[in-house]
A and B are shown apart, each in its own frame.
Chain A
Amino acid sequence: MNKYNLNNSYKAVVIGGSAGSFQGIVKILSQLPPGFPLPIIMCLHRLKHVRNGFVEALSLKSVIQVTEPYDKESIKKGGVYLAPSNYHMSVELGNYFAMSTEEMINNSRPAIDITLGTAAYVYRDKLVGILLSGANRDGGLGMKHIKDKGGLTIVQEPTECMIDTMPRAAMALTKIDHVMKVDLIIDFLKELDKQYR
């Protein structure tokens, strides 16, 4: 038995974050084990009308190149994906992405609830959901969907968050399996990686 009671049945990792999450995300991406076996699907709040720059900034230190997928692009093992600006990003049955320009949710497009909720529907108990620092409630409901389908839920330790509204919203809505600082989240992902070796 390993320390987080993990196995190799997981199919994807989804990460949500908003205000104050950038540093944490960069740290996670920079310390990922090379050849990390699962797709990492990220939905981060970002400026709606700045299309360029964010994915480049994340890629700078990332072990794996980050991409903003196109509508109907297949989700590949080992890919690191970021929801593009001004689109909601869904995961579809058949393992691909779909974009939409529907109304904002919690004042956000992309909305974390949509990415997490659709990923939960597709991957069910084979999903790890991680929610980081943020100043609004978006993502809380998405984490609840993940838990309800039997997935694993992790939030960033509120005391470490620049703004803890987002992880606390998730903690109020559902059972969170692990409350962790970013360093421990990295340790967790390394442990997860080992299950596939």
Chain B
Amino acid sequence: MNNDYIVSLIQQNRRIDERKLDEHREIKIEYNISKNAEGSARCKIGETEVLVGVKMDIGEPYPDNPDQGTIIVTAELSPIASPLFELGPPGTQATELARIVDRGIRESKAIDFKKLFIKEDKVWIIFIDIYPVNDDGNLIDASVLAALAALKIAKFPKIKDDKVVYGEFSNEKLKLTKLPINFTFGKIANKIILDPNSKEEDALDARLSISVNEGNIYAMQKGGDTGLILEEIEKMIDIAIKKEKEIRGLLK
């Protein structure tokens, strides 16, 4: 497949998988895919598949926020998911992916960090671990949805003598105040497309991810090698705000 073909299709407002430019692939979310996690979920967007698990531990708060817990987001781009991924410590793409997911949750205050306070010098640390299993493009949106789904069902583990009793869960759920949905767009041949697949990603000039919740924007990340003009960004925001409710509806 060469990029010229993708570009020539998009010039005619067509896509390789016959979607409309602002149409995302079919999204499927599955809950509790790994029993030992405090919460876990699988998100499929078309052929793209991402697993996310939530684990919790008791730790010390940061000195500047002694009354708050925190989240730690990690992404591992294992070579199981793509011929382009390699073994080894997280590279730039994995780090960027984890940070985009982190920012969407952190900045929207979807988790109230103050509610993660246990007692003096003891707070909950929420680990959100992202594992793509098949990369057919747009790992970002799939990771965000899987993370939200896993967090939504996550239960705190039991505590005994200030330590976590692993494998035993309390009935207390982690409460999410919001479900900020991420939308990733690509720019190809001066057109804006939603949810680029892997072939389209190879042909992208620019990329923008926008995290929205009830009309507000909580995080953005621009990628790709060329710039975007204001009108293009506005158009992307409009599509994101128009579609956020539909996507949020997929999170039961």
Q: Do A and B come from one complex?
A: no
Q: Give residues in A with beta carbon < 8 Å to B.
A: none
